[in-house]
């Protein structure tokens, strides 16, 4: 297993020191680069959090947890398919059973082309339902069971990962619709849970060079990885794709006390891509 090198020059300040974080989607698809969920789990751990690395693939979750432990930080892998509420209950319960609290929930889940997304006139009922169950219903129910604990504590932070596709041009129906739903739900839950001192925000990544985004599309469109990477970078005003660290850095800020007066916002991390609507 290779060591993950952070090239951003970030110096850990222990922003999450002693806190318990559940990162849903902490594994990643095979391929080059670092996924958003794995980057967030590593970043949280470097900042002092005890991390429950949750993923449908336990092997991928364990890879993330092992990377964290090799750096001398604390992490445990946990298998969970968020399409099933019983799995969610088990995962959220494991964090409190093991560490006695739940301070941060990071919902990094999403499936599009890999789940069969397509134009409305082409998508099947089965594939639409699968994407909905993962992207929106799964996020809703992880929030539900995390909030039950956070309300008791009267504290906590939830960071949902939406997508710039929800507010910009995007050709496939299920991903766009479900990620727009994540935005709306984030705003609603933030308002309803502010009285409990719980903050809920969302990140909207744009074109990020993760294995899921790049490798899946390269296969789908019959292009080389380098060709697809260049095409995606050319669409971004800053001239490059983002990385998992770009998303993780914002996730860390929103999860930390530095964002103690921020709730109910959906923040783009897209290098200005959404400005190119034509």
Active-site positions read 175
Q: What values do phi and psi take at 234, rounded to 5?
A: -65, -20
Q: What are the DSSP calls for 64-100, one per residue?
A: HHHHHHHTT--EEEEE--TTSHHHHHHHHHHHHHHHS
Distance, in Å, from the CA atom of 79 to the CA atom of 120, rounded to the nearest integer, reads 32
Give Cβ neighbours of residue 57 (< 8 Å, ≥ 6 apart).
Answer: 27, 79
- Mode of pairing for the β-strands spanning 50-55 and 75-79: parallel
- Closest by alpha carbon to 243, among 2, 7, 16? 7
Sign of CA dihedral 238, 244, 250, 253: negative
Structure tokens given for 245: 């660290």
- Closest by alpha carbon to 200, among 137, 124, 154, 262? 262
Phi-psi group of 239: left, alpha or beta (phi > 0 → left; psi -120 to 50 → alpha; rest → beta): left
């Amino acid at each position: 297993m290779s060591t993950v090198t952070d090239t951003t020059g970030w110096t850990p300040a222990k922003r999450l020191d002693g806190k318990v974080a559940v990162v849903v989607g902490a594994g990643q698809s095979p391929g080059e680069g670092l996924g958003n969920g794995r980057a967030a789990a590593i970043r949280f751990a470097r900042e002092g959090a005890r991390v429950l690395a949750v993923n449908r693939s336990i092997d991928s979750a364990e890879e993330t947890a092992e990377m964290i432990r090799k750096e001398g930080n604390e992490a445990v892998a946990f298998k969970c398919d968020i399409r099933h509420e019983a799995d969610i209950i088990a995962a959220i319960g494991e964090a409190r059973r093991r560490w006695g609290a739940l301070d941060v929930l990071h919902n990094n889940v999403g499936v599009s082309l890999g789940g069969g997304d397509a134009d409305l006139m082409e998508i099947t009922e089965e594939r639409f339902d699968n994407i909905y169950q993962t992207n929106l219903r799964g996020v809703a129910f992880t929030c539900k069971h995390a909030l039950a604990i956070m309300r008791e504590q009267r504290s906590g932070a939830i960071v949902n990962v939406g997508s710039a596709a929800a507010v910009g041009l995007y050709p496939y129906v299920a991903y766009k619709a479900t990620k727009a739903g994540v935005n709306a739900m984030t705003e609603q839950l933030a308002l309803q849970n502010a009285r409990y001192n719980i903050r809920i925000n969302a990140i909207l990544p744009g074109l990020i060079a993760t294995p899921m985004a790049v490798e899946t599309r390269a296969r789908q469109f019959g292009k080389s990885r380098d060709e697809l990477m260049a095409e995606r970078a050319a669409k971004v005003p800053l001239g490059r794709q983002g990385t998992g660290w770009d998303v993780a850095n914002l996730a860390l800020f929103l999860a930390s006390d530095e964002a103690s007066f921020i709730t109910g916002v959906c923040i783009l991390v897209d290098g200005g891509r959404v400005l190119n609507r034509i």
